[in-house]
A and B are shown apart, each in its own frame.
Chain A
Amino acid sequence: QVQLKESGPGLVQPSRTLSLTCTVSGFSLTSYGVSWVRQPPGKGLEWIAAIWSGGSTDYNSALKSRLSISRDTSKSQVLLKMNSLQTEDTAMYFCARYYYSGDYYVMDAWGQGASVTVSS
């Protein structure tokens, strides 16, 4: 059974660094990519970053200078770090599995989300 589970601190002070972990089961990180997507309260979805099955990475250009995505395949975990947090970064953060068929991408399974509030 494919599962993704996000974990994080919940509350982060402004200007500090956020660290989120996505722990996956039911599939291998060397066969599938993982993306991070966030959703501010009551608003739409924003794609943040992705790490491919081969380990290469892509970032939202608007956030790239603040982001780092990495993985630990031995632990089946994908890690997202975002620095210089502001109140606008308050959101639900989701991780999602994706794969590339050769012609198209499919982002087919999502975690339940981790709520992050930026406040002093």
Chain B
Amino acid sequence: DIQMTQSPASLSASLGETVSIECLASEDIYNNLAWYQQKPGKSPQLLIYYASSLQDGVPSRFSGSGSGTQYSLKINSLESEDAATYFCLQDSEYPWTFGGGTKLELK
């Protein structure tokens, strides 16, 4: 199975700042990487698919990049509604596997 190592596990930032979250795959996943946002008590919401494609309706301050085994999610100009946990998902090979999650707290 492909292992997804996500970092950091938690992050604290101020409104208006820019943050990045990383996911490292144990092997090449050929850009088959998605990012999700999950708020407490809610289901995950798709932000980015195929490493860098922005899902319809998602604000443009979210962006994804990367290739091979290394991928990142960048959030520009943080807003209060961005406080959440973020997960990466590799859908290159079954079983699909998620990163451990990054909890983003707004100061």
Residues of A within 8 A of B (CB): 35, 37, 44-47, 50, 58-62, 94, 96, 98, 103-113
Residues of B within 8 A of A (CB): 1, 31-32, 34, 36, 42-46, 49-50, 55, 87, 89, 91, 94-101
Given contacts A58-B95, A105-B32, A106-B34, contact A44 B101 (CB under 8 A): yes
Q: List 28 A-B contacts (CB under 8 A).
A: A37-B44, A44-B87, A44-B99, A44-B100, A44-B101, A45-B87, A46-B98, A47-B95, A47-B97, A50-B94, A50-B96, A60-B95, A61-B1, A61-B95, A94-B44, A98-B91, A103-B50, A104-B50, A104-B91, A106-B34, A106-B55, A107-B49, A108-B46, A108-B49, A108-B55, A109-B46, A110-B43, A113-B43
Residues of chain A with a CB closer than 8 A to B34's CB = 105-107
B27: min CB distance to chain A, Å? 16
Residues of chain A with a CB closer than 8 A to B46's CB = 106-109
Residues of chain B with a CB closer than 8 A to A45's CB = 36, 44, 87, 89, 98, 101
How distant is the Cα of A104 from the Cα of B32 in the complex, in angstroms? Answer: 6
How distant is the Cα of A105 from the Cα of B96 in the complex, in angstroms? Answer: 11
